[in-house]
């Protein structure tokens, strides 16, 4: 386990903008940064990062927290593994104590599987360079493909021996359990106890996550055998979901951001060859149809994608079916058709980065135009085929979210297909309405003097206005779980505890003593609630109050409530702390040009007692409602004695409510 001083060093070193920007493309907006949320389907930037508070927050889905919890959520790591991730990033040495047997047992399958895969990658790479079979077959194959040694090592390529169970025996000998070798797909286990290596006799391509962890392998057989599949991939597992992974994304994420464009190819060697040619902003779908998860992965880093196709017509037709999802995500898609007989791998090996880039610039075309031309050439003059292709093209146009872009494409398709623009517009509107989407705004058509003036077309993602004096949008207001009738008032008090829990609210001297005692914000709130037999009704709130109270009572000098809760091992606590620390709006500098800023911490002696009273008032109001209901029941039952008792309670409660309301400055009407 990691000791507290080391945890503190890691937390201090972790800059939230630095950490998040490795996975999300951020741009400055006011005092914060904003980008597409990595935790839900986000077409309009809703993920905000606050450098001042060192936290992140999504307006839409509510996810957020510290740098540690961002890594926990994004990489699906434990709290301590996230700390190790950040420690490695910031070159902080970790001295860990030996885990107990119970702690070892608590390590989940996911962590064990990642450890096994990391070992397997090193094993395959070692065989490639140090084993005779690996050198003569695996390394020779890569060299014949023209791969340089630095590229082979960069992508951690390897080789699996032809022997039936070489990896299995070596893994068991090294202390790895058969259970995890099977779960990762490295071996195939049989009921009689035998186990075969899945990838035997193949060159190996590790598949990395965004953070560089190996979650799967692809293996290519080198022997020509019709009964043997050319490629074998790791099966789906707890750590590997192929629909959410892209080959090469770990190496491409920064180049994609820098170029603001991503090249999409099909296979492992396409990616590797393009890297070697100097084009690094490239990923592969690994032979599978594009999925929404893969698209979102690209969309985090850029809105521009160029798909590279070889000259195989059948392959192109199969591949373009998945492009509609890219259009639906609002991405700007270009297509490059390589010369006949060429694929990205072979073409990259014959050209350097400059030549490749120049060819792409000359050859790339918009996807809708590309698809239209491709299908037109296929349909020829056959009217039925042309009718089918028009419907196919319009389905692609209909999913584009931007009103203006759809209108432009309809006009372009009208020209290319030689079909009246109004007919195409009507058809697109029918498709969109059948899918529950808004129709395209009716616009005037060229050459139609009677057409009405166009309606105003809104931009797809309207920017916030930027007047000189305005409240700059910052992080969202607290979004907390609803557990109790008094949650609003409890939230207000918990917010003070998280922000200022250890701050001294009052100082007093006990009778007969000259020693001054400080009463912290947390202690005051707890004492006030205890005095009336109250506590927080929301379980998570009560846990946080008790946690802060115990630390304040122990006079923990290192306790800082905001830091403690923001970096708490429990993600629910950290996420709630981020909500409470965040502000929905931050006043612009113009607001304070002619007046001094009123700081909240300077008004705590007024604000906190008032909010405590507000919670007490809510409890009393609730109790009054309960007594009224009981009184009605007693009246119905004709229970005079009970009615008198309840009326006395009601009088006392109303009197108490009147006292509290007076304190709160409210005007009330007493009634029984």
Measured in Å, how far apart are the chain's first and last C-alpha atoms? 61
Going across the sheet that includes 231-233, the strands are 158-160, 202-208, 214-221, 231-233
The whole-angstrom separation of Cα 286 and Cα 245 is 9
Q: Quick check: 377 pLDDT over 90?
A: no
The whole-angstrom separation of Cα 213 and Cα 88 is 13
DSSP secondary structure of 626-663: HHHHHHHHHHHHT-HHHHHHHHHHHHHHHHHHHHHHHH
The whole-angstrom separation of Cα 80 and Cα 72 is 9
Task: Assess contact for 490 and 529: CB atoms under 8 A.
Answer: no
Confidence of residue 436 (pLDDT cuts 50, 70, 90): low
Pick from 147-156, 194-203, 297-306, 591-600: least confident: 591-600
Task: Assess contact for 639 and 610: CB atoms under 8 A.
Answer: no
Confidence of residue 364 (pLDDT cuts 50, 70, 90): confident
Query: For residue 563, which of 519, 480, 492, 501 has the smallest C-alpha distance?
Result: 501
The pLDDT assigned to 468 comes to: 32
The whole-angstrom separation of Cα 149 and Cα 142 is 9
Highest mean pLDDT among 135-149, 522-536, 601-615: 135-149
Q: For 84-132, how does the pLDDT look when each residue is reduced to its tens digit (9 = 90+)? A: 899 988 888 886 665 556 555 545 688 889 999 999 999 999 999 999 9
CA 566 remoteness from chain centre: 18
Q: For 321-358, how does the pLDDT look when each residue is reduced to its tens digit (9 = 90+)? A: 667 777 777 788 888 888 877 888 888 888 888 888 88
Conformational region of residue 92, where left means phi above 0, alpha means psi within -120 to 50, and beta covers everything else: beta
Phi first, then psi: give them for residue 653, nearest 5 degrees.
Answer: -65, -40
The whole-angstrom separation of Cα 486 and Cα 83 is 36
The whole-angstrom separation of Cα 48 and Cα 50 is 7
Proportion of the chain in helix, strand, coil states, percent, rounded to 5: 50, 15, 35
Distances (CA, A) of 6 to 1, 83, 88, 122, 198: 10, 9, 12, 29, 41
Task: Assess contact for 406 and 398: CB atoms under 8 A.
Answer: yes
The pLDDT assigned to 412 comes to: 84
Which residue stretches of 14-53 are H helix? 16-20
Phi first, then psi: give them for residue 45, nearest 5 degrees.
Answer: -50, 120
Rg (CA), the chain: 32
Q: What is the mean pLDDT of residues 399-406?
A: 80
Q: How many residues in the chain?
A: 672
**pTM over the 0.75 mark:** no
Confidence of residue 463 (pLDDT cuts 50, 70, 90): very low
| Residue 608, C-beta contacts closer than 8 angstroms, at least 6 positions apart | 493, 496, 505, 521, 524, 525
**Which residues are 186's β-sheet partners?**
none
The whole-angstrom separation of Cα 115 and Cα 77 is 13
The pLDDT assigned to 478 comes to: 40
Beta-carbon-side half-sphere exposure of residue 86 (alpha carbons within 13 Å): 28
DSSP structural state of residue 241: -
Q: For 472-499, how does the pLDDT look when each residue is reduced to its tens digit (9 = 90+)? A: 333 333 444 444 568 888 999 999 999 9
């Amino acid at each position: 386990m990691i000791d507290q001083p080391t945890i503190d060093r890691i937390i201090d070193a972790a800059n939230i903008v630095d950490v998040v920007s490795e996975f999300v493309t951020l741009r400055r907006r006011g005092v914060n940064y904003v980008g597409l949320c990595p935790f839900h389907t986000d077409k309009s930037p809703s993920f905000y990062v606050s450098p001042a508070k060192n936290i992140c927050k999504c307006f839409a889905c509510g996810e957020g927290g510290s740098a540690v919890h961002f890594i926990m959520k994004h990489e699906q790591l434990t709290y301590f593994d996230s700390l190790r991730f950040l420690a490695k990033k910031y070159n902080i040495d970790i001295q860990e104590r030996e885990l107990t047997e119970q702690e070892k047992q608590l390590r989940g399958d996911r962590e064990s599987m990642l450890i096994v895969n990391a070992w397997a990658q090193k094993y395959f790479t070692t065989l490639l360079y140090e084993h005779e079979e690996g050198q003569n077959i695996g390394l020779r194959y890569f060299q014949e493909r023209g791969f340089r040694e630095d590229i082979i090592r960069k992508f951690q390529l390897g080789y699996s021996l032809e022997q039936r169970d070489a990896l299995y025996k070596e893994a068991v000998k090294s202390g790895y359990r058969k259970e995890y070798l099977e779960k990762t797909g490295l071996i195939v286990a049989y009921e009689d106890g035998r186990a075969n290596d899945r990838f035997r006799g193949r060159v190996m391509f590790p598949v990395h996550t965004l953070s560089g962890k190996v979650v799967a392998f692809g293996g290519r057989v080198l022997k020509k055998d019709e009964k043997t599949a050319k490629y074998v991939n790791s099966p789906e597992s707890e750590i590997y979901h192929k629909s959410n992974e892209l080959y090469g994304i770990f190496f491409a994420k920064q180049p994609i951001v820098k170029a603001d464009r991503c090249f999409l190819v099909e296979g492992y060697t396409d990616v590797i060859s393009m890297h070697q040619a100097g084009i690094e902003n490239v990923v592969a779908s690994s032979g599978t149809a594009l999925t929404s998860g893969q698209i979102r992965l690209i969309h985090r880093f850029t809105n521009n994608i160029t798909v590279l196709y070889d000259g195989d017509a059948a392959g192109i037709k199969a591949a373009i079916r998945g492009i509609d999802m890219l259009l639906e995500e609002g991405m700007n898609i270009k297509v490059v058709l390589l010369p006949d007989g060429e694929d990205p791998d072979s073409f990259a090996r014959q050209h350097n980065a400059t030549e490749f880039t120049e060819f792409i610039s000359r050859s790339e075309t918009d996807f809708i135009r590309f698809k239209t031309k491709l299908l037109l050439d296929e349909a020829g003059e056959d009217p039925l085929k042309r009718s089918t292709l028009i419907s196919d093209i319009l389905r692609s146009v209909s999913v584009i979210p931007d009103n203006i872009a759809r209108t432009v494409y309809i006009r372009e398709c009208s020209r290319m297909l030689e079909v009246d623009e109004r007919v195409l517009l009507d058809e697109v509107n029918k498709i969109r309405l059948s899918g529950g989407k808004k129709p395209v705004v009716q616009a005037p058509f060229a050459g139609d003097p009677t057409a009405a003036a166009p309606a105003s077309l809104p931009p797809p993602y309207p920017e916030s206005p930027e007047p000189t004096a305005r409240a700059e949008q910052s992080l969202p207001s607290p979004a907390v779980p609803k557990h109790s009738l008094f949650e609003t008032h409890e939230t207000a008090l918990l917010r003070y505890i998280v922000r200022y829990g250890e701050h001294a609210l009052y100082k007093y001297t006990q009778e007969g003593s000259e020693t001054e005692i400080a009463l912290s914000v947390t202690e005051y709130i707890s004492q006030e609630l205890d005095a009336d037999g109250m506590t927080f009704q929301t379980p998570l709130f009560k846990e946080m109050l008790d946690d802060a109270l115990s630390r304040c009572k122990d006079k923990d000098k290192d306790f800082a409530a905001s830091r403690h809760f923001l970096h708490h091992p429990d993600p629910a606590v950290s996420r709630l702390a981020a909500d409470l620390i965040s502000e929905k709006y931050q006043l612009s500098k113009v607001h304070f040009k002619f007046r001094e800023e009123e700081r909240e911490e300077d008004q705590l002696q007024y604000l906190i007692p008032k909010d405590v009273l507000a919670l007490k008032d809510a409890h009393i109001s609730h109790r009054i409602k309960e007594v009224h209901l009981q009184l009605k029941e007693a009246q119905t039952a004709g229970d005079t004695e009970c009615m008198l008792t309840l009326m006395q309670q009601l009088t006392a409660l109303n009197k108490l409510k009147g006292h509290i309301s007076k304190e709160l400055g409210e005007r009330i009407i007493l009634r029984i």
